Amino acid sequence: MGMIARLQKNRLLQKQLHSYAVKRATQFNKQDPLAAQQRIFHELIATASATKFGRDNSFAGLNNRRFDVAYNYYKSHVPIRSYHDFMTDYFYGNQAADPLGHSAPDLDNITWPGSIKMFCETSGTTAPSKFIPFSSRMFAENRRAALDMMACYLTANPESKILNGKILYMSGSTTLNKVRRGVWSGDMSALTLRFRPCYLTPFVEPGAVISALPWEEKLQAMAEMLLRDDNIRVISGVPPWIILLLKRCGEISGKPLHELLPNLELIIHGGTSIKPYRNELENLFEGRLPHLLELLPSSEAFMAFQQFGEQQMRLTPYYGTFFEFVRFEDLDSQGKPAPFADAIPLEEVETGQRYAVILSTCSGLWRYHIGDTICFTATSPHYIEFTGRDRFLDKLEEKVTQAEVELAVANLNLNDHWNVREFMVGADIPARRHQWVLAVQDVVDVADATRILDATLCELNADYAAFRSQGRINAPVVMLMPEDGIYQWSQLERGKLGGQSKIPHIDPTPDSSMIASLCGFQADPAFK
């Protein structure tokens, strides 16, 4: 008898696990986030005092200081850095390494004590790979966050059956690269799967063979597995790839999803906003959706998760990371803060204000500009909305945000005639207009889409509305593609598809070359 079957029959063990979840969730909800942030700040400073970074910034002198005194010194002496800044100042500072960062650095007592043995390798949209240090302490903190999230879910939903089922984890590449003896780099999901506790193996799908397949073959294999294994009760992944998986299940069987997957209880999603995809997800399940939980993970730190029964995520400032926040309005035209921008700790945030997130972590990142933005909707608890990357649609000086772009598409999808699968928008600079590319299920009236997208951005963004009325920005142009067209382009032109790779919703290139590439791909007769 397999472990899942034994667990299903062992009522006593299920009761003990549920009691443990309730205890853990109770402890989680009793935490004081502001006190936790002050404690973590002091712990990070003390732990890294003897590192090169700690010596360079006089961390030892901050030990035993009051938080307000130590923090004011810290933010006035340690600049906010991007990955490139860390790469040049510390990661490769004394090494004969590739200056473009094509190999993981050798970090031994540089920004964190001891030797870093794992690196999360992330392929940038317009830059070489990044190698984010991933310490053993951070690995443990991420695991603690995952346990807390599931404990809160089980406590709030005592009828849940996920304890005696499996999770289908839609990971990215599971290939690990041996950097040097005992040091590995790879997709964060690869590191998580490779070094997870062995007792979790029976509860996580897919196995190593399917995980290593090329994306299209892996998608097919996961769909077939989901259809035949009724013990899979949770799917975790990025919204567009989850939808592709579910659609593939429907294509294989030809039946409604709520009939095909009656035991699917929970979808855990993150990495990009679900708003543009929500309408399609509901249509797939004909209104009978499984429970949805959003989380905000990253290669740098775990930041937030949604509790069952609540509408938004809570910031989770308990897992080895000290948070600072810079007002969105204080970012430059490239979406970056100045080295000594006016940053604030968690205790000073205001509701309704959009912030860029700055992290100091137990992997040795200090005042690191992660590139994500959030908005606080409450401060007790600290409810947040993920508002996207801190890049703008601003080639025409309009500063339209990613969140506004995604809301415009979500509004379009509320119209029964539209079902946008994926999309990108960029600037046609000579024509002074926005160029939208929409991957759609059915071709309908393009003028209708143009009107709705334009009107929504006018409603959401005062600068865009003024520029449109003044004729400084012309009416947008909308181009349609088949529903999988943008994915085909991403795979063929960018070499990225599936897992944790995401389609940029705003063209991030300085010269608008990405939207031009996509439009050229759509117009190519070979694509037809």
Whether omega before 381 lies within 30 degrees of 0, making that bond cis, reads yes
Q: Which of 88-102, 436-450, 472-486 has the lowest average pLDDT?
A: 88-102
Within its chain, how far is the Cα of 480 from the centroid? 27
Q: Which of 286, 362, 358 is nearest to 45 (CA)?
A: 362
pLDDT of residue 521 exceeding 50: yes
> How confident is the model at residue 522, as a pLDDT?
75
CB 78 within 8 A of CB 57: yes
Q: Which two tokens stand for residue 159?
A: 């009828």
pLDDT of residue 528 exceeding 60: no
CA-to-CA distance for 147 and 124, rounded, in angstroms?
Answer: 29
Cβ neighbors of 427 (< 8 A, separation 6 or more) are 393, 395, 396, 433, 434, 435, 507, 512, 515
> How confident is the model at residue 125, as a pLDDT?
46
pLDDT band for 445, please (50, 70, 90 cuts). confident
Q: Which of 378, 362, 509, 526 is nearest to 435 (CA)?
A: 509
> How confident is the model at residue 444, as a pLDDT?
73
pLDDT band for 97, please (50, 70, 90 cuts). very low
CA-to-CA distance for 258 and 297, rounded, in angstroms?
Answer: 28
pLDDT band for 99, please (50, 70, 90 cuts). very low
Amino acid (1-letter code) at residue 164: N
Reported in sequence order, the residue ranges of 40-164 that DSSP labels E, i.e. its strands, are 118-123, 129-133
Task: Tell me the per-residue pLDDT of 116-148, one tens digit each, with 9 for 90 and over.
Answer: 999 998 755 445 678 999 999 999 999 999 999
pLDDT band for 401, please (50, 70, 90 cuts). confident
pLDDT of residue 189 exceeding 70: yes
Rounded to the nearest integer, the mean pLDDT of the chain is 88
pLDDT of residue 473 exceeding 60: yes
CA distances in angstroms from 249 to 68, 274, 281, 482, 502, listed in the order given: 55, 20, 13, 19, 21
Mean pLDDT of 434-461: 89
Q: Write down the pTM of the prediction.
A: 0.84
> How confident is the model at residue 342, as a pLDDT?
95
Q: Which two tokens stand for residue 352?
A: 């309704």
> How confident is the model at residue 126, as a pLDDT?
45
> How confident is the model at residue 177, as a pLDDT?
84
> How confident is the model at residue 377, as a pLDDT?
96
Give percent above pLDDT 90 in the chain. 49
Q: What is the SS3 assignment for 175-190?
A: CEEEEECCEEEECHHH
CA-to-CA distance for 162 and 466, rounded, in angstroms?
Answer: 51
Task: Tell me the per-residue pLDDT of 10-31, one tens digit each, with 9 for 90 and over.
Answer: 778 788 888 999 999 999 999 9
pLDDT of residue 96 exceeding 80: no
pLDDT of residue 170 exceeding 50: yes
Contacts 24+ apart (CB under 8 A), 335-343: 335/371, 335/389, 335/390, 335/391, 335/392, 336/82, 336/369, 336/390, 337/80, 337/369, 338/80, 339/79, 339/80, 339/81, 340/75, 340/76, 340/79, 340/80, 341/80, 343/75, 343/80, 343/367
CB 409 within 8 A of CB 276: yes
pLDDT of residue 526 exceeding 80: no
Q: Which of 273-287, 486-500, 502-516 has the lowest average pLDDT?
A: 486-500
Query: How many alpha carbons fall within 13 Å on the CB side of residue 497?
Result: 21
- Most confident listed range (210-214, 305-309, 488-492): 305-309
